[in-house]
Structure 1
Amino acid sequence: MVTGAIRVGSFAAQREREQVLTGLFRSHCVELVRLAYVLLGDRQRAEETVQEVYLSLFRHWPPRDHASALAYLRAGVINQCRSDQRRTIRARRGEPHLRASLLWSENASDTATDVVIRDEASRLAELVRALPRRQREVITCRYYLQLSERETAELLEIGIGSVKTHAHRGLAALQTRLEGSR
């Protein structure tokens, strides 16, 4: 009889976990894929990265609290992207990776304005990917995810002063490169 009660309790806990994960997936999957895309520059790798992070959250359930699950997912995506980039760099052994591709969009259209916007976004994404790793991560967290300096520092596990420094240097480098390409 006790065994039946444990099963019911574990079934309810498993159902709650599935509901929370499903809600997180529906609410944040596209945002996380875009984050990974900005860092990796490849849609398929970005989707695989996000998939791996959701699977990791599922395996390591429960998080400290449900509110920390999104932070876990974001940190996981950034860390997986770092690992993926290290593997790619080792595999290529310094081979330059210059690739122009459009940012992925759910509802891409072909109007002239949209093409120009996507072209500019693609150019900006390439410039962001060309930044040093820490600047790229800070710029992505601060301006793409719109995290505060404190949230960015916590997510990247660095000091707030470092966030400010990397954001300043990254923005200066982007501005210089944008002005130089006009």
Structure 2
Amino acid sequence: MLRGDGRAATARQERGSAVPGDLTDFAEFVEANLPGLLRYGHALTGNPHDAADLVQTVLEKIGSRWSHVLHKTGDPLAYVRRSMANAHISRWRRLRRESLVADIPEPSAFTPADPFEHEPLWQALRDLPPRQRAVIVLRYYEGLSEAEIAASLGVSPGTVKSQASKAIASLRGKLRGDEETEGREAV
């Protein structure tokens, strides 16, 4: 952020911004990081609609405490990512109850198709537990190091390594199972 840069404050004054500095910094933060947060949310939740809801919910909570987040944390982006992962895990735990129905509902013609719906890797990623999925997404999709992931999720680097190892083993097993199934169907 350009918070400490005198040129940024001067530019805000020249624009006639009536927004206090911390809120302006928050708006700049959101503008700069929103695409990446939406991608991360999509990978966590499995669809763009839930991702947008997750990002909005977390940013609403953090926006009201932005000055605290900015001054007390070393990396606000890591704090937001950790908050997203925690919010997703909490929601998943709250809503993972099964709903038994007598008849399977017909798919809606108005529901847009997810372009990744039938991708084997995407399906296997979606089946991972939330913490494993968060580690895989942060490591291989966002390109963060183990230390950055640990700081982002609030866990030890050893936990990041073990969760990544379990997730990769699970993904390999699922994808090899799909390849073997396709190979048997072709014979």
**Runs of 4+ residues deviating >6 angstroms:** none
After superposition, the Cα gap between the structure-2 partners of 1:51 and 1:173, relative to the gap in structure 1 and judged at 3 Å, is same
Q: TM-score of the superposition, structure 1-length normalised? A: 0.71
Q: Tell me the alpha carbon deviations over residues 86-131 of structure 1, each in whole angstroms, 9 at most, x when there is no partner.
A: 23213x3589xxxx8324xxxxxxxxxxxxxx96xx4322211212
Correspondence 1:106-121 to 2 at 5 A: none
Provide the C-alpha distance between the structure 2 equivalents of 1:30 and 1:172, rounded to a whole number of angstroms. Answer: 29
1:124 aligned onto 2:121: yes
After superposition, the Cα gap between the structure-2 partners of 1:49 and 1:178, relative to the gap in structure 1 and judged at 3 Å, is same
Amino acid at match of 1:86: R
Q: Using the TM superposition, give the Cα deviation of residue 41 of structure 1 relative to its aligned residue in structure 2, in angstroms.
A: 1.5
The number of equivalent residue pairs is: 151
Amino acid at match of 2:96: I
| Larger CA Rg, structure 1 vs 2 | 2
* Residue aligning to 1:88: 95
Query: Can you give the 5+ residue segments of structure 2 that lack an aligned partner in the other structure?
Result: 1-16, 102-112, 180-187
1:79 aligned onto 2:92: no
User: 8 Å contact 1:40–1:85 — kept in the other structure?
Assistant: no
Q: Using the TM superposition, give the Cα deviation of residue 14 of structure 1 relative to its aligned residue in structure 2, in angstroms.
A: 4.5
Amino acid at match of 1:101: D
Q: Name which of 67, 70, 89 aligns with 2:77.
A: 70
User: 8 Å contact 1:36–1:46 — kept in the other structure?
Assistant: yes
Provide the C-alpha distance between the structure 2 equivalents of 1:145 and 1:94, rounded to a whole number of angstroms. Answer: 37
After superposition, the Cα gap between the structure-2 partners of 1:159 and 1:44, relative to the gap in structure 1 and judged at 3 Å, is same
1:56 aligned onto 2:61: yes
Q: TM-score of the superposition, structure 2-length normalised? A: 0.70
After superposition, the Cα gap between the structure-2 partners of 1:133 and 1:52, relative to the gap in structure 1 and judged at 3 Å, is closer
Q: Using the TM superposition, give the Cα deviation of residue 33 of structure 1 relative to its aligned residue in structure 2, in angstroms.
A: 1.4
User: 8 Å contact 2:88–2:130 — kept in the other structure?
Assistant: no
Q: Using the TM superposition, give the Cα deviation of residue 60 of structure 1 relative to its aligned residue in structure 2, in angstroms.
A: 1.0
User: 8 Å contact 2:132–2:166 — kept in the other structure?
Assistant: yes
Provide the C-alpha distance between the structure 2 equivalents of 1:84 and 1:33, rounded to a whole number of angstroms. Answer: 17
1:25 aligned onto 2:30: yes
SS at match of 2:120: helix
* Residue aligning to 1:147: 144
Query: Can you give the 5+ residue segments of structure 1 that lack an aligned partner in the other structure?
Result: 1-11, 104-117
Amino acid at match of 1:58: G
Q: Name which of 116, 132, 152 aligns with 1:135.
A: 132
- RMSD (Å) for aligned C-alpha atoms: 2.7
Provide the C-alpha distance between the structure 2 equivalents of 1:13 and 1:77, rounded to a whole number of angstroms. Answer: 30
Q: Give 1 or 2: higher helix fraction.
A: 1
After superposition, the Cα gap between the structure-2 partners of 1:28 and 1:177, relative to the gap in structure 1 and judged at 3 Å, is same
Amino acid at match of 1:28: N
User: 8 Å contact 2:120–2:175 — kept in the other structure?
Assistant: no
Q: Using the TM superposition, give the Cα deviation of residue 13 of structure 1 relative to its aligned residue in structure 2, in angstroms.
A: 9.3
Q: Using the TM superposition, give the Cα deviation of residue 139 of structure 1 relative to its aligned residue in structure 2, in angstroms.
A: 1.0
User: 8 Å contact 2:139–2:149 — kept in the other structure?
Assistant: yes
